[in-house]
Amino acid sequence: MPYQTLQQTTSTRQIDADEPGLPIVKMIRLLAEFVRAGLVLWLLFPKLQRVDKLRQIQRWAKNVLLILNVEVHCEELVPNTGGGLLVANHISWLDILVIQSLAPGVFVAKSEVRRWPLIGSMAHACDTIFVERSSHKSARAMIDDSIAAFGQGYSVIAFPEGTSSDGSDLGIFHANIFEGAIKARTYVQAVTLRYVNSDNDLPSDAAPFIGDMTLVSSLRRVMATSSLRARVHIGESIQSAGHTRKTLANLAHQSIRRELTRERQGFTRYS
C-alpha cells in the first residue's frame, strides 16, 4: 500500500494568552475564515473534482487550526490511497479539523451536528454522513452512504465510540460503521489522538468537549490557550477480508487503546 506524508507538523506562532484583545482577534479571523470557506463550498464545490474538493477541505482545516493556535504533530506516514475507513478515539470537535488537515475525507457525524449553526450547513456541503444512532434505518443508510463514498474514492472517517471523552481511556466501539468497510472490501486505519500542552507535552484539559459543555464554551477554552498540541498516531492498517464487523471493531479498538496506554504510562513515568 503506497503511503505519503501529507503533513508532519503544523506549527503556529505561539502568542501570549494574556495579550489584550487576543480572543476578539481570533474570533474575527475565525469568522472571516468561515465566510471564505462558505463561499468556496457553495459557489466552487459543485464545479470541483474529488481531489480538488479534498484539497480545499484540507486547506480550510489547516487555516482554522492556525487561527486557533493548535499545533498538529504526526510523525507516522498517512495513507494516501483513499477509499478506506479511518477510525479514531473521540475527544473534541477539534478532532475533525486535525484529521482533515492530515487525511481529508467524508466524516460520519451524529445527526445533531446538522443543526449546529453554520457548522451544520458546512458539514452537509462537505457530504458528511449524518446518523441517528438510535435508529436502525439511519444506521443502514449510513452503511450504504459509506459504501458509496468508498466507491467514489473517498476515505470515510468515524469515531466508533459515538461520544467524546477526556482522552484518558477508550469507550466501547459501535460496530455498525465497520460493516461498510467489509462490504466494500476496503481497509480500516486506526488513529489515536491526544491533546497536550505544547510547552511541556503533558495532557491538556483545554481540548476535551465533554459532559454538559456547550460548543461555545469549548471554543472559548480553546481560544484562551496558546499552548495546545494535537498528537496523532497512525496505527495498524487492517484489511477487512475474513473479518466480521465485531472482529474489525475489536482489532481497531485494541490498536488505539494500546497506544493510549503506552502514552499514559509515559506521562506517569516522566511527570
- The CATH number of residue 51's host domain is 3.40.1130
pLDDT band for 250, please (50, 70, 90 cuts): very high
pLDDT: is 1 or 178 the higher one?
178
| Average pLDDT value for residue range 147-167 | 91
In a domain, 16, yes or no: no
Whether 107 is in a domain gets the answer yes
Res. 163: pLDDT tops 70:
yes
Question: What residue type is 71 in one-letter code?
Answer: E
Q: Which of 166, 185, 184, 189 is nearest to 237 (CA)?
A: 189
Does some domain include residue 73? yes
How high is the mean pLDDT of the chain?
Answer: 84
- What are the backbone dihedrals phi and psi of residue 121, each rounded to the nearest 5 degrees, phi first? -65, -40
Q: Does the pLDDT of residue 117 top 90, yes or no?
A: no
Q: Is residue 7 part of a domain?
A: no
Q: How many CA atoms lie within 13 A of 150 on its CB side?
A: 22
pLDDT value for 12: 38
In a domain, residue 8? The reply is no
What's the structural domain count of the chain?
A: 1
At 90 the pLDDT is 95
Which spans in 45-163 are helix H? 50-68, 94-102, 119-125, 136-151
Instruction: To the nearest 10°, report the CA torsion of 226, 215, 164, 190.
Output: -60
**Domain-embedded: residue 6:** no
1 belongs to a structural domain: no
With respect to residue 4, please indicate whether it lies within any of the assigned structural domains. Answer: no
State the cell numbers at 221. 477554552
Range with the lowest mean pLDDT among 76-85, 224-233, 238-247, 258-267?
A: 76-85
Higher pLDDT, 197 or 7: 197
Domain membership of residue 189 as a residue range:
21-270
pLDDT (0 to 100) of residue 81: 62
Q: How confident is the model at residue 64 (pLDDT cuts 50, 70, 90)?
A: very high
Grid cell for residue 190 = 486506526
